[in-house]
Amino acid sequence: QKEVEQNSGPLSVPEGAIASLNCTYSDRGSQSFFWYRQYSGKSPELIMSIYSNGDKEDGRFTAQLNKASQYVSLLIRDSQPSDSATYLCAADNSGGYQKVTFGTGTKLQVIP
Amino acid sequence: DADVTQTPRNRITKTGKRIMLECSQTKGHDRMYWYRQDPGLGLRLIYYSFDVKDINKGEISDGYSVSRQAQAKFSLSLESAIPNQTALYFCATSDLGTVPETQYFGPGTRLLVL
């Protein structure tokens, strides 16, 4: 059973702080990893994808990947109240089919 | 216009009824997916289709069926709805050959089975 694990939270950070969201995955063959943001009752929206070890930055967001440790993280700098949402981590599945396994998400609360 | 659309957006039905949820996309993607989302359980894959002639079961396909009418249309049917199928249903699409292959979601259908 391929799994993607996330702390459900809530993770509370003050406005302007850095929010750090973490994710581990069990499938060593996973190559691509995704972070989605989901507001309550809405659909998941892609924030970033990453498939190389190291950091990838896009505006206030930085994704970090460590394949040896099977660990993915998302940093949100200068957190804003509008960042309050559930963040889903996902990993593609090895084995020839491009399916994706999603974590259950971490709820982030940015306190004004 | 939205790239991935789902109809209806909300549906209330009774136990035993057959219902269909529809998904259409203008992204030109070959691959389409149906997920359900329940509180605390995350997104779970029901069915996926990599082209019109290729349909596969996901992890929770029992009680569901699908039809890929065209590249752009993928429908999910509940043959005889039961209350534990109450959930938020999402359709998604992805483009074969892109790296990484990213899934894009429709707005969702909220289903309540009484």
B112/chain A closest Cα distance in angstroms: 14
Per-residue model confidence as pLDDT tens for chain A (112 residues)? 678 999 988 999 999 999 999 999 999 989 899 999 999 999 999 999 998 899 999 999 999 999 999 999 999 999 999 999 999 999 988 765 568 899 999 999 999 9
Q: DSSP 3-state assignment of A44?
A: coil
Backbone torsions φ then ψ of A81, nearest 5 degrees: -55, -30
Please indicate whether residue B104 or residue B101 has the higher confidence score (pLDDT): B104
Chain A interface disruption, residue of B102, B109, B111, most A CBs within 10 A: B102
Report the alpha-carbon distance of residue B5 to residue B59 in Å, rounded: 23
Query: What residues does B74 pair with on adjacent strands?
Result: B23, B68
Residue in chain B closest to A42 (alpha carbons) equals B107
CB B64 within 8 A of CB A55: no
User: Position A82: which residue type?
Assistant: S
Report the alpha-carbon distance of residue B84 to residue A83 in Å, rounded: 32
The 10s digit of each residue's pLDDT in B20-66 is 999 999 999 999 999 999 988 889 999 999 999 999 999 899 999 99
A72/chain B closest Cα distance in angstroms: 15
Residue in chain B closest to A52 (alpha carbons) equals B100
